Amino acid sequence: MSEKKLSDKVAVISGASKGLGKSMAEALAREGVKIALVSRNQDLLNEVAEGIRAEGGAAETVACDATDQEQVAAAADAVVKTFGKVDILINNAGMNNRKQLTDFTLPEWREILDTNLTSAFLMSQAFVPHMKGRGYGRILNMTSIMSHVAIAGRTGYCTTKFGLLGFTKALSMELLEDGITVNGISPGPFATEMNLPLINDPEKNADFLKRIPMGRWGKPEEIGNLAVYLCSPEAGFITGTDIVIDGGWTVQ
């Protein structure tokens, strides 16, 4: 893919301080996209931005809690002031909570709903107005294989990810006339910080790998490459769908 096809684009990525958010930021930056990195952790954001700049890319940081409406609105203002526009929005902020339903407290339930689902609503509501009017735009929502299948002990996570998939489909219909596509990326097991409790437990890790037909964890850069394609002009006829990237997990 020619760098020129994305070199004039600006992307906003929530949850960009680590994991898949960081990988997508780095991949898009390599294609010439100017990156607005959004997260609550300023120190980690600075590290990601410095890494992108060291490779010749452009990145700015915006410390923001994506579940806080006022902070998100301020972030939108800051991004537009810095870059003048927004072309790409990636709603990647997320968390997991591995416990049985009866063990959830109400604050924990609300936290996972806000982090995984409400944040996408708030970010989209704040940034979509800045994306309209140019006939081009890309929104990616980080769904999950847990938008399609379930595992015991993931009630909160599955609920939010099924909801995010519905949000993706509905929003895609709202933005058709604006030339803005809206799609989900459903990662399976990827070697990120969120999955360290499994990766660092030899027994659980071995058991988990047996469930993956390809027999390995996904590499974060594989998500980055997919995000680049979905944000490109070549993906302009893809909207309202969800791309599963899971090593064959959901085929079984």
Query: Is 117's pLDDT higher than 70?
Result: yes
Read off the pLDDT of each residue in 169-177 and give the average, rounded to a whole number: 98
Q: What's at 73, amino acid-wise?
A: A
Q: What's at 70, amino acid-wise?
A: E
Give the rounded percent of residues in the chain with a pLDDT score beyond 90: 87
pLDDT tens, residue by residue, 51-108: 999 999 999 999 999 999 999 999 999 999 999 999 999 999 999 888 999 999 999 9
Read off the pLDDT of each residue in 191-203 and give the average, rounded to a whole number: 84
Q: Is 157 a catalytic residue?
A: yes
Cβ contact 186:147 at 8 Å: yes
Give the span between the Cα atoms of 220 and 21, in whole angstroms. 9
Query: Is 3's pLDDT higher than 70?
Result: no
> Could you tell me which residues come within 8 angstroms of residue 36 by beta carbon, excluding any fewer than 6 positions away?
10, 11, 12, 13, 59, 60, 61, 62, 79, 82, 83, 86
Tell me what pLDDT residue 250 has: 94
Q: Which domains does the chain have, with CATH numbers?
A: 3-191+219-243 (3.40.50.720)
Tell me what pLDDT residue 98 has: 87
- Classify each residue of 69-100 as buried b or exposed e, where b means 16 or more C-beta atoms within 10 Å of its C-beta: eebbeebbebbbeebeebbbbbbbbbebbeee
Tell me what pLDDT residue 1 has: 43
Tell me what pLDDT residue 129 has: 98
- Take residue 35 and report the two structure tokens written for it: 């990156």
Q: Which of 83, 121, 127, 157 is catalytic?
A: 157
Tell me what pLDDT residue 172 has: 98
- pTM of the complete model: 0.94
Tell me what pLDDT residue 189 has: 86
